[in-house]
Chain A
Amino acid sequence: MIVATALFAVLQTSAPAPACGDLDLQVPVGLGLEGRADGDGFDAAAYLGLSAGLPLSVCLGVPLRLELSLATGTAGPPWGAGVDAVEVARQDGDLAALTGVAYVFVKEGDKGLGVEALAGPRLRLTRVRTRIYAQSESRYGATVRAAALVGPFATYKAWRVSLRPGASLPWDRRVQLWLGIGRSL
């Protein structure tokens, strides 16, 4: 129920958005390291997302931020890894509702520089496609973890750029680094 509650909270908060602050949309792209199944090292992974953020500093007077994000990603080639006869491919779809501090510590005219730390529940829907010769099937699974992102961000006029390392709890043996480019609406 945490996800549902968080989503509800975001939707409610977004109603008075004009009075609170400018909603921003970001397109985060990410790189990651995912622990290999054999426990020996990590594989590279790539991610792409879309997130909507709402700064609450104007209406609440505190440097809070709410963010709802969607992301997808894959470790290894999206069409699968294996041998000619057998391949396994995995794609993840993440839905996260994050909240936390976005503190601006430098503000000069149109420019700002700050640091943010966001955390919240993240629902991951995973699709696994397994192929044996010409036959393939897809199966699905879902997990909920707590996700956390922390890093610097910069603003210039309506633009917002963020760099966020992230991980989740319980740790799923993956670390992510997101570069987000966004714009206030």
Chain B
Amino acid sequence: MASATRALLVALCVSPTGCQAPGNVIRIIDAVNPDGSIALADVVLTTLGDVAAVEGSVATFLGGAVISLDSAAPIADRGEARDDLVENAGTVRARFVVDDGVVVAADFDSLLMFSAYAHFERATLHLGGLGATLPASPVPVYFNPTLQNGPQLTFPKSDNAAFFAMTDAFVLLPMRILQEIPFAMNTGVVAHEVSHRVFYYVGWNGGLFAAIAAHQYDAGAQQSFNRVKATDEGVADFFAAAITADPAFLAKSTPGSISDARDLSVTRVLDPRFIAGLEPQQDGQYDPYGPGAVVAAALWRLAQDHGVDTVEAAVIDGLRALSSQLVQSFTYQFGDLEREVARALPAADCAAACALFAERYLPVAGAFTGVCP
């Protein structure tokens, strides 16, 4: 009760938030322990400007948005069609108390938003520090939006988090089925989504939709795109694990039936059936997570052997090196990114990386020609 008494005394000087204005020390759900377990932690959010509006230089949270997923709607790169696809997005109003200088969320949604902002900030600053350049303006985060699915483009209405490239924005949906740590509170899941945005801006150079428009009728375009999507998923899981130091970050939020297949600590090799870019499938749709798990596990192994920071930087460099191939020819084979990663690694690490890739990517060994012996 000492805390309550202090709060009472503080309130005796008149101010809407007591005498302590909300600062940037926020109590969030975070993966703070060496064993990766999740707990409450006080963090300093250096980029958060308006606490109640959950708005800062990294992200702006918006509520009540209605997002149209109609594939007939205009689509443009770098969020230029955002206003055509999103309606009603409004300012959020987090509820909080200020206890001994620490902002404490006073309801579940506010705790979700504060935690997610912290994770967005951490991932964005971390990846920016590796040279991943993102637009300077804060990215919109649509919190609990309504998704209007189109005939060809569907997305679950709950239990998901996503980077929507066509709006250049993130979406955080309510958790209705999964009852473990919500995605918005899972540092790794948010880092995974931020990585997708990095892939869009570095790998695609912010020009994915222009590239699709130019190449959608090319032979094999869909298969190439599927392989890129799988690699994008693998890279996203790799950065999530790197930022959390937890190769099983997804297990905090999903049952083993989902997370086990993406545990980065498991040795995985590329299945020859994946090479064509049509398999595996789930519910009649290409499932990028199977091949993606091979990519993630290989990068994670590499990071364990040669240093997480070194491999993270090499992946960003590899994406940048791959960019012109993706945008200009819209072609991609498994191993193309890993070849550029091996090239970007310090010379002393390259041979070991080649050996690892040769083992993990045996069906596409030719992809490493020119870099590996």
Q: A37-B94, A38-B144, A130-B111 are in contact. Are A170 and B7 (CB under 8 A)?
A: no
Scan B83-99; emit 1 where CB is below 8 A from any A CB, else 0: 00000001111111111
Scan A131-164; emit 1 where CB is below 8 A from any B CB, else 0: 0100101111111110000000000000000000
Give residues 61-117 of A contacting B (CB, 8 Å): 75-76, 80-88, 90
A85 to B40, CA, bound (A): 13
B93 CB contact (under 8 Å) in A132, A170, A173: A173
Task: Give the distance to chain B from A94, nearest Cβ to Cβ, in Å.
Answer: 11
Please, which residues of chain B bring their CB within 8 A of the CB of A130?
A: 27, 40, 104-105, 111
A16 located at the interface, meaning its Cβ lies under 8 Å from any Cβ of chain B in the complex: no
Scan B74-114; emit 1 where CB is below 8 A from any A CB, else 0: 00000000000000001111111111001011111111010
A170 to B27, CA, bound (A): 25
Structural contact, B97 and A128, CB atoms closer than 8 A: yes
Could you say which of A37, A40, A87 has the most chain B C-beta atoms within 10 Å of its C-beta? A37
Chain B interface residue count, Cβ-Cβ cutoff 8 angstroms:
51
Q: A121-B14, A125-B8, A132-B29 are in contact. Are A37 and B179 (CB under 8 A)?
A: no
Structural contact, B182 and A38, CB atoms closer than 8 A: no
A138 to B11, CA, bound (A): 18
Structural contact, B7 and A132, CB atoms closer than 8 A: no
A126 located at the interface, meaning its Cβ lies under 8 Å from any Cβ of chain B in the complex: yes
A39 located at the interface, meaning its Cβ lies under 8 Å from any Cβ of chain B in the complex: yes
B3 located at the interface, meaning its Cβ lies under 8 Å from any Cβ of chain A in the complex: yes
Please, which residues of chain B bring their CB within 8 A of the CB of A36?
A: 63, 109
Please, which residues of chain B bring their CB within 8 A of the CB of A2?
A: 14
Please, which residues of chain A bring their CB within 8 A of the CB of B260?
A: none
* A interface: dominant SS: strand
* B interface: dominant SS: mixed
Q: A3-B12, A38-B109, A86-B185 are in contact. Are A140 and B90 (CB under 8 A)?
A: no
The chain B residue sitting closest to A138, CB to CB, is B3
Structural contact, B39 and A132, CB atoms closer than 8 A: yes
Structural contact, B14 and A86, CB atoms closer than 8 A: no
A84 to B175, CA, bound (A): 10
A25 located at the interface, meaning its Cβ lies under 8 Å from any Cβ of chain B in the complex: no
Could you say which of A80, A81, A86 has the most chain B C-beta atoms within 10 Å of its C-beta? A86
B143 located at the interface, meaning its Cβ lies under 8 Å from any Cβ of chain A in the complex: yes
Please, which residues of chain A bring their CB within 8 A of the CB of B39?
A: 132, 135
Scan B11-37; emit 1 where CB is below 8 A from any A CB, else 0: 111111110000000010100000000
A143 to B64, CA, bound (A): 27
A123 located at the interface, meaning its Cβ lies under 8 Å from any Cβ of chain B in the complex: yes
Could you say which of B4, B10, B94, B180 has the most chain A C-beta atoms within 10 Å of its C-beta? B4
B18 CB contact (under 8 Å) in A82, A90, A142: A142
Task: Give the distance to chain A from B188, nearest Cβ to Cβ, in Å.
Answer: 15
A40 CB contact (under 8 Å) in B27, B40, B64, B179: B64
Q: A1-B12, A81-B108, A145-B16 are in contact. Are A37 and B95 (CB under 8 A)?
A: yes
Structural contact, A83 and B175, CB atoms closer than 8 A: yes
The chain A residue sitting closest to B176, CB to CB, is A83
Give residues 344-370 of B contacting A (CB, 8 Å): none
B178 located at the interface, meaning its Cβ lies under 8 Å from any Cβ of chain A in the complex: yes
Q: A38-B143, A125-B11, A140-B97 are in contact. Are A85 and B181 (CB under 8 A)?
A: yes
B147 located at the interface, meaning its Cβ lies under 8 Å from any Cβ of chain A in the complex: no
A21 located at the interface, meaning its Cβ lies under 8 Å from any Cβ of chain B in the complex: no
Structural contact, B12 and A86, CB atoms closer than 8 A: no
Structural contact, A40 and B90, CB atoms closer than 8 A: yes
Structural contact, A141 and B104, CB atoms closer than 8 A: yes
A19 located at the interface, meaning its Cβ lies under 8 Å from any Cβ of chain B in the complex: no
Give residues 1-18 of A contacting B (CB, 8 Å): 1-4
A165 located at the interface, meaning its Cβ lies under 8 Å from any Cβ of chain B in the complex: no
State the B residues within 8 Å of A (CB).
Answer: 3-4, 6-8, 10-18, 27, 29, 38-40, 62-64, 90-99, 102, 104-111, 113, 143-144, 175, 178-182, 185
16 pairs from A and B in contact (CB 8 Å cutoff): A38-B64, A39-B64, A39-B91, A82-B108, A84-B180, A86-B29, A87-B108, A88-B105, A124-B11, A125-B11, A138-B3, A140-B7, A141-B104, A144-B12, A144-B14, A144-B16
State the A residues within 8 Å of B (CB).
Answer: 1-4, 35-41, 75-76, 80-88, 90, 121, 123-128, 130, 132, 135, 137-145, 170, 173
- In addition to A128-B97, A144-B15, 7 A-B residue pairs with Cβ atoms within 8 Å of each other are A39-B92, A84-B180, A85-B182, A125-B4, A140-B7, A144-B11, A144-B12
